[in-house]
A and B are shown apart, each in its own frame.
Chain A
């Protein structure tokens, strides 16, 4: 059985990627199972979807724990533990990353023995969560890497899954897909089916006897306020708003009032400061600033421009 997992951010077409690959494999004569993992499907938040394909009926279900291929549409997720990109990767796994960074650098950075392949993504200042074709690009690369899907099968699957979208959008996706598909020609058939878990060598689960704990401990109650500030929603951000202190007119903190997340703090001098640990990058501040003092740059190229401010409000 082939087990393939797609990771990306909400808005990058990860669910569509799993459906395109699923449909293409199904049309190629495979039994298929594909599913997105809902829960955090908000724009910018990490999400994933998965595909299983086999010649036999598929009885396995749920999240893929031992992937043959992990395809990542947004390289900023790789090192984010909450995204779970690296979960279950072993030496036989192929890790495919859409990235401006080369495979060798990734190998050193991640200290992995598995095959790492990069789909070159240029340093771009575009908003990566507004690039739904990233998913299609990954699906197309994966299609070539299975070695099981002819180009026309891929195109047919894209047409089927994007049916209802504007012709232009479909054409653009197909164009990108073909480019990505062809670029992976040297890796055709590189994905191998992982070994099935055998009874003789399984690691028994470390079941525990659930201890009794009184209601004051075991009720689902949070005994404090605003603990949510521990959640770094800044990791969702694909576009970073930057306030130009020269342009800022020290108004009645319009940006701060309108910020849906309330993460623009205004100093006593009237100077607004963005809490990048929690800024989701919605850019409401940018649209509202009357003096146009706020600009946005892609998070992928922002690292060198601004530094994340440490979170000031601890629970």
Chain B
């Protein structure tokens, strides 16, 4: 095992290499491209067996990925943002095939306006498609999660494709120390791909992914897919424990940081969660009983694990790097539905929207979120959802609008 500095993209590529992926259908998109470039380089220069094919679009790429998995090889692919959405039809389609593979998504905000920088609307748009989702906060986790994802995806009780998600820029282009497991140990952990009975062979004709007539068989197949996703909760625990045994790194379905005696919690996913840890440490130094909860699994949703952690806490600040137009933060609404009607749940579930399109969330802002939460706990009143956006930022936008010849009636806001 060696420990080197690696970008999140590099870590994703190493994950695919160590998992001995046979086949990589690819399509370039920022900030993911480095992953497929790295794999192409290894494959072209004989450092990694396997085959990489660039398709004509992400729609085609995900089709090819699913089709190859349905034929019985181990498949890896990667995309981001618009690409994930361009392939959205096929995400739903191939998940229904019950053919396992791993797709890395490097999160990036969605158009319009176009941006290259990250938030989580892309990946959360895919939350209902049948792919499982593992969300990473460090480059190490990216590599480890790809290995874990193959086990989870290929588990007999699951058989669903898995997306491993990492944030663009803050992970994709950021180097951090990453332990690279030995190929042998990784291969032993992941194991050989067993296509079971879902594959194409001349001696055993199969027709896959056909139509059904009527809602009854449709309901059966769809709900079975849902049950398989739920099976992944237990399967994940088993696989993560085995991973920890073999490699010494613990990646629970829900990460907790200084939660045991905490009265209030930050709740978020992705790599900005490590920034929340810094704020937790500073707040703890000031005597605050605060911690961080970070689900790594978003599909399946680890509801019971979250309830166990939140039981008896006074308040939770949910920080969403996404926005469901006309409603608000996706994590906030999902958490609320998981807690509603359950005994001893926090009374305050405050919603904060921040980090959209790569906007930073500063330590001061974490402090202010905590302060707002504490005030709400004391008063018993849930605060209105808060966008992390400052007066200065608004003034900057007005300057840009001036250049864009945006006319305001009498210079006043309506």
Contact = CB atoms under 8 A, between A and B. Distances in A.
Interface of A: 19, 22-23, 26, 31-36, 38-39, 58-63, 65, 196-200, 202-208, 210-214, 216-217, 220-224, 227, 230
Given A22-B175, A35-B174, A199-B282, A205 B394 contact: no
A222 B170 CA distance: 30
Given A38-B169, A199-B285, A26 B177 contact: yes
B326 to A, nearest CB: 13
A198 B363 CA distance: 9
Contacts of B413: 211, 213
B173 A36 contact: yes
Given A62-B170, A203-B364, A223 B405 contact: yes
B242 to A, nearest CB: 24
A136 to B, nearest CB: 17
B5 A22 contact: yes
B278 interface: yes
Nearest to A18: B175
The B contact surface, by secondary structure, is: mixed
Contacts, number: 124
B363 A207 contact: no
B235 interface: no
Interface stretch (B145-153, B299-307, B384-392): B384-392
A197 B363 contact: yes
B112 to A, nearest CB: 6
B205 interface: no
A216 B368 CA distance: 33
A217 B401 contact: yes
B364 to A, nearest CB: 5
A199 B367 contact: yes
B403 A207 contact: no
Interface stretch (B97-105, B269-277, B335-343): B269-277
13 contacts: A19-B175, A35-B173, A35-B175, A61-B271, A62-B275, A204-B368, A208-B390, A208-B391, A208-B393, A220-B112, A221-B406, A222-B405, A230-B403
Contact of B362 (A65, A211, A222): A65
A26 B5 contact: yes
Contacts of B31: 38
B10 to A, nearest CB: 12
A221 B173 contact: no
Given A59-B277, A207-B389, A212-B414, A34 B364 contact: no
Going nearest first, the 7 A-B pairs with the smallest beta carbon separation are A59-B274, A35-B174, A224-B405, A223-B405, A220-B113, A199-B286, A222-B404
B408 interface: yes
Given A38-B169, A227-B403, A31 B177 contact: yes
Contacts of B414: 212-214, 217
Nearest to B359: A62
Given A38-B116, A227-B404, 19 more contacts: A22-B175, A33-B174, A35-B7, A59-B278, A61-B274, A62-B170, A196-B282, A197-B282, A197-B364, A199-B367, A205-B362, A206-B391, A210-B387, A213-B414, A217-B406, A217-B407, A223-B407, A227-B405, A230-B403
